[in-house]
Structure 1
């Protein structure tokens, strides 16, 4: 497979997953505020600012906004086109990547992605966002579910599928860590790690569709240790970090054709090592280490997998001396890929 095609398929699905995760991330704070209807403006800012801090976009946000109010944070993450990681920008970049590899996609998959793109850029979408934000985000989430369902039903299990599945689970693992990290930026008096405010953990579970699955495995109310254990180390929940890294490891070995438990490139080495650590890790160790510190280190490991994947399958360093220089027309795509990596 051409590295350009693999790159586009990988980022197409990562951007779709990013749009879905941001919709959920915004709703996390909505859930957190359900029990805080009488908060003053200062306390409201203290609850919305963690959203920006958890995404890592605080520097860019401060360039355009002076106050982390609910309306400004929601606008920045949803449809502010100056933010390359906003929902609207992510869907736009997903469609652009899909357009470049349409011959690799089914007609149904392209139509679904194009319909979502047209919706977020339509007058109807703008009116729905202003009148009923909950339905707006629900529409985006349902469209992303449909996209993944069509992809699973219509894409042959070839290298194309492996790169798409790899992008989805790498993005998902990163965003789950950011869901959990929101609690690290809450006001100290409301931080659930330091107190017994179970509604924080319930909201986080709800935001990733895991509340029902969590209750099926655990008795009692969600606690810090229980939720961290479930979202970090569950081998069966499809949004846990361990599950996602396991799929990443499978995808990487399917692409290279090497058996699992061995490695032929640094992407496989980093993913395999991380999977082993997650397989034998525990929530108690994470909380003792410090939740924010652990999640920050984990995000760096996930970024390292993405970087090594880029080095192995896009830049192809082992063959650079045998191949002619990259034409200028293709160089822009590589630079765009690197910029997207840095935004992570």
Structure 2
């Protein structure tokens, strides 16, 4: 497979997962605000920190008003990671490799692109309830995933798309956990209160893990939530599960008939192995924020190694993709 084609497929997976994640946690945060005590100010700042775009945001907006945050994360084309930007980049990558996609995948992605573009021109969402829009975005991306599962041959292209999807999901899960633990509560005295419970519940819902958690663990406990979202071997949005699946994809792509492994395989294998034997109690006692910072850095290093091993050619679309990571 040409590097140009592989790169576009890989970033198609990353951009769709990014847009779905943004729609998911904006929707969950909106619902959370409805349940907060009337004397507690809405918290939209954590969403900006979860995406890592606080520097860009503060150059454009003065405060963390609900409308500004939602617009920045959803419709602001100056934000390369917003929903509208991510879906636009996904469609552009799909257009470049259209002959490698199924007809159904291209048509549904094109529909999603025009749906978001049309809503961006309307201002009704500013004063209304935007939850249905985010629900529609999530459902349409999940439909694209379903089409892929049912119609795409498990060839090299499939593994590149899944590789991008799982790396993106691992990164976003770690960021969401970090924001909840590090900056979400107004003070340490709130730990263990009903408000704290509400935030942990929102965190689980933001990655569709609430029902799974309740079945596996019962009562909400921070260490158990962290264990599910970081180290669980079976939950499809845990960091460990995502890295394990990404490693499988990378091994399929690399082949390694000669017994040699490349730097990307080495890094992702080391990171997956570390998480496999990490203990949640040690993580919590030594500092979850520091642990997650190191984890995100290592995920970025894996992504950089994938670029070095498979995508090192100069193309317009590739350059655009690499700047958005």
Flag the 1:133–1:94 CA change in 2: closer, same or farther, 3 A.
Answer: same
1:74 to 65, 70, 73: 70
Partner of 1:198: 197
Partner of 1:323: none
- The answer to whether 1:116 aligns with 2:112 is yes
Per the TM alignment, residue 128 of structure 1 is displaced from its structure 2 partner at its CA by 6.5
Distance 1:289 1:191 in 2: 20
Distance 1:123 1:179 in 2: 26
Give the CA RMSD over aligned residues: 1.9
1:64 to 60, 83, 91: 60
Partner of 2:290: 293
The CA deviation string for residues 299-326 of structure 1, in whole angstroms up to 9 with x for no partner, is: 11111111000000011xxxxxxxxxx6
The CA deviation string for residues 176-201 of structure 1, in whole angstroms up to 9 with x for no partner, is: 01111121122442687x43421111
Q: What pairs up with 1:177-326 in 2 under 5 angstroms?
A: 177-183=174-180, 184-189=182-187, 194-196=191-193, 197-220=196-219, 222-258=220-256, 264-315=261-312
Flag the 1:150–1:128 CA change in 2: closer, same or farther, 3 A.
Answer: farther
Q: Secondary structure at the match of 2:44?
A: helix
Distance 2:151 2:142 in 1: 14
Distance 1:333 1:54 in 2: 26
**Contact 1:169-1:247 at 8 Å conserved across structures:** yes
Flag the 1:124–1:82 CA change in 2: closer, same or farther, 3 A.
Answer: closer
1:134 to 131, 134, 143: 131
The CA deviation string for residues 128-164 of structure 1, in whole angstroms up to 9 with x for no partner, is: 6343311000000000100111011111100000000
2:80 to 56, 77, 84: 84
Flag the 1:157–1:313 CA change in 2: closer, same or farther, 3 A.
Answer: same
Distance 1:218 1:195 in 2: 17
Instruction: Normalising by structure 1, report the TM-score.
Output: 0.88
- Runs of 5+ in structure 1 lacking a partner? 316-325
Per the TM alignment, residue 33 of structure 1 is displaced from its structure 2 partner at its CA by 2.4
Instruction: Normalising by structure 2, report the TM-score.
Output: 0.93
Per the TM alignment, residue 73 of structure 1 is displaced from its structure 2 partner at its CA by 0.8
Per the TM alignment, residue 26 of structure 1 is displaced from its structure 2 partner at its CA by 1.4
Q: What pairs up with 1:42-61 in 2 under 5 angstroms?
A: 43-44=41-42, 47-61=43-57
**Contact 2:13-2:165 at 8 Å conserved across structures:** yes
**Contact 2:73-2:79 at 8 Å conserved across structures:** yes
The CA deviation string for residues 225-263 of structure 1, in whole angstroms up to 9 with x for no partner, is: 01000011111111111100000110110011138xx76
Structure 1 window deviating more from structure 2 (120-129 vs 230-239): it is: 120-129
**Contact 1:125-1:136 at 8 Å conserved across structures:** no
Distance 1:128 1:294 in 2: 42
**Contact 2:4-2:315 at 8 Å conserved across structures:** no
**Contact 1:128-1:136 at 8 Å conserved across structures:** no
